[in-house]
Structure 1
């Protein structure tokens, strides 16, 4: 790494660290004022409260990291331009694109971090935080475990199998009063009833199981075909797929929910279970899929946006960069929400709706950067 790259990188990482720490402190302080009474009512101890904020921290980082990067870039570039450092570097034969190489490296690293957080840390953070809030409170426990879903039903369209479950625990994959109906290749159906079921060795174990078959042409009543204390079925449905079914089904029925977005693996599993969907559901899922792919690259777009705003030479107030970052972030947010709404509504292709903000702002950044003198 050249000495110039090290210098520019250091001058960026310091304000970026300050921005991230500042946003984190502000978020914790604001959240404490809003949630402290509820946390006290939940009988949480100091260690529980610290763990609660650690669990919810990744969701905050995903939201503020692009803004913090934009603010830090504008501050660093404005500071360099104010002291004519960028002019001197370019006079030495270093192009603006070569000068910005450390910034793109940081933007790429932030994009990878955002993707990892979105896929592995954020999706289940809300459920984990809610379970933590309720695990010490008798009143909350009496109100019910958020991980236990009552009267759950889902269909594996590909396998022609329908599940109806009286109670399902998302954490342990324990079922109470499950009923499974499936259709065979010849068109006949089978019914399986059990008092409970659990997942063991890549299969489902049903207890006190009773299996019935239909009797076409003879009687409308079901005919018993099997009764046993323990029955193993190696069906393809997994606890992860059931969790995905619960999460996506609730999001589809409540599209304005403020819960964390769905990871790519869950969207893929849902599409595997439901190869045939109505147009509205498929548009919603495809827009979410492409949105998950496009969102992390916002950090690279931020670099393209910041260069033409911060790099032009001349003496300026560094706080101009702060005002610029607020305006840019607001404009990007508005365009993102509008574009995604057009995608889910069917007015734009799903891929275009998800990538449009990145294309517009990234293209504008490239065009303005090429005109910087």
Structure 2
């Protein structure tokens, strides 16, 4: 009984940590949704409502993996430990390298834009973790798998395990299972938080959401609503990490026709009421402009507050014009459903949507390529196979770039542009398994085929 309890202590610890993380993140995500999206939460599309539930699932994925680990046999647990430790170490090393390189590039910005540069940098990189993990997880899975299996193969442990009667595929089931959990976490990050982190990066680096006391007019935010002929000028935008804070030093210019000013509204603060969909301007001054007189007419006394039902929302006012790669999956789906975009934009949106789904399976395909590349049965180094696997992973980036460009341009269907790299690399993985199960290296297989063609 004590031994059984000991098996599930890691699962209990991870469950508690996941619960604490969920209690912190899920309410913040809900508040962020209300701030970003117009209307009542009851009317949100299903894709938006899934955001907090996916975040909740991501918090409990490690605990689920620990529970399954407790039910595994001795050999499966040993292989799992080798893989998990190698994968986590590779992920930590690449994350640290990225953070150090990026911190070096942005050190001056942190010093200028934050009162406390270290705290500001910590908050900034806390928001960037989903984006960083989205960039590196497929490749840390590849490297972690190769590292773990090359160690087991080099010490002849793989050979001993095979002699116990298990096949190579059966030995690798624990690796595939935990890779599947990582791929699920990767998909959760890609759904909303990795694109959102890219957008936060644009906002936070430019310094518009900081407490920079030397901010001048050139750094003011300007938002143009060309449909309603209205321009917003915001002198002090709130921190994007604190939704609900008021906009300060706001000027709203309303034009009756393009180029003809109707009125100007000056306010110390502008507060958005999400329930009533109204703007309240505090300590406001209203200045009218008439068609017959160029001299502006002020209200006799400054108003304590003025209420307007402008359709603009705080999120769209303080964020830059977003690229497609900074849009969450719900926003892409809503843009496609609206049919309000041009043909080229729809091509981009569809290709991006399919690519995000395809890259979840890319994680598993790279693991499938890493397994036969790292295992050797003769007395030789696995470095040749590992080198080829790394080369294939690098080429995958180039292939993805090319196919997605073709898909965004309309030369390929969006689904084919996104899934073509996976189709090609699945064939490569199957070929590698067939050569490895025959106890032949990749180079030996290629050499034999070349000689067969010559004869």
- The worse-fitting range, judged by mean Cα deviation, of 13-22 and 344-353 is 13-22
1:284–1:11 distance in 2 versus 1, CA, 3 Å? same
How far apart, in 2, do the equivalents of 1:234 and 1:151 lie? 13
Note closer, same or farther for the CA distance 1:164–1:95 as it changes in structure 2 (3 Å cut).
farther
State the partner residue of 1:360.
Answer: 424
Q: Distance in 2 between matches of 1:137 and 1:238?
A: 24
Q: Which has the higher helix share?
A: 2
Alignment equivalent of 1:32, drawn from 82, 86, 103:
103
Alignment of 1:49-128 (within 5 A): 49-118=121-190, 119-121=192-194, 122-127=197-202
Q: Alpha-carbon deviation of 1:47?
A: 2.2
Match of 1:299 in 2: 363
Determine which structure has the larger strand proportion and give its number: 1
Which deviations, in whole Å up to 9, do the C-alpha atoms of 1:272-320 show, x marking residues without a partner? 4x41432211101111111222223321111111122123422333554
Residue 265 of structure 1 is matched in structure 2 by 330
* SS at 1:177 equivalent: strand
Structure 2 regions of 5+ residues with no counterpart?
A: 1-71, 257-261, 285-304, 438-455
Aligned partner (choices 177, 195, 210) of residue 252 of structure 2: 177
RMSD: 3.7
Tell me, yes or no, if the aligned pair for 2:82 and 2:148 is still in contact at 8 Å. Answer: yes
What does residue 129 of structure 1 align with?
204
Aligned to 1:351: 415
Cα pair 1:90 1:96 within 8 Å, conserved = yes
Do 1:66 and 1:299's aligned partners in 2 also have CA atoms closer than 8 Å? yes
Q: 1:153-232 to 2 correspondence within 5 Å?
A: 153=225, 164-167=230-233, 177=252, 195=265, 199-200=272-273, 201-205=275-279
- In structure 1, the residue matched to 2:400 is 336
> How far apart in 1 are the matches of 2:226 and 2:410?
26
Which is worse superposed, 294-303 or 63-72? 294-303
Conserved 8 A contact 1:244-1:270 = no
Q: Distance in 2 between matches of 1:143 and 1:316?
A: 63
Could you say which structure has the greater relative contact order, defined with CA pairs below 8 angstroms and 6 or more residues apart? Answer: 1
Question: Which 5+ residue runs of structure 1 have no aligned equivalent?
Answer: 156-161, 182-191, 209-228, 253-259
- The answer to whether the 8 A contact 1:81-1:314 is kept is no
- CA–CA distance in 1 between the matches of 2:177 and 2:317? 36
- Tell me the equivalent position of 1:282: 346
* Number of aligned positions between the proteins: 325
The Cα shift of 1:205 comes to: 4.7
Q: Tell me, in whole angstroms, the C-alpha distance in 1 between the residues paired with 2:175 and 2:344.
A: 40
- CA displacement, residues 75-98 of structure 1 (integer Å, 9 cap, x when unaligned): 222222223322332333322222
Quick one: distance in 2 between partners of 1:35 and 1:284? 30
CA contact (8 A) 2:86 2:147 kept: yes
CA distance in 2, matches of 1:36, 1:280: 38
**1:337, distance to aligned residue in structure 2 (A):** 0.4
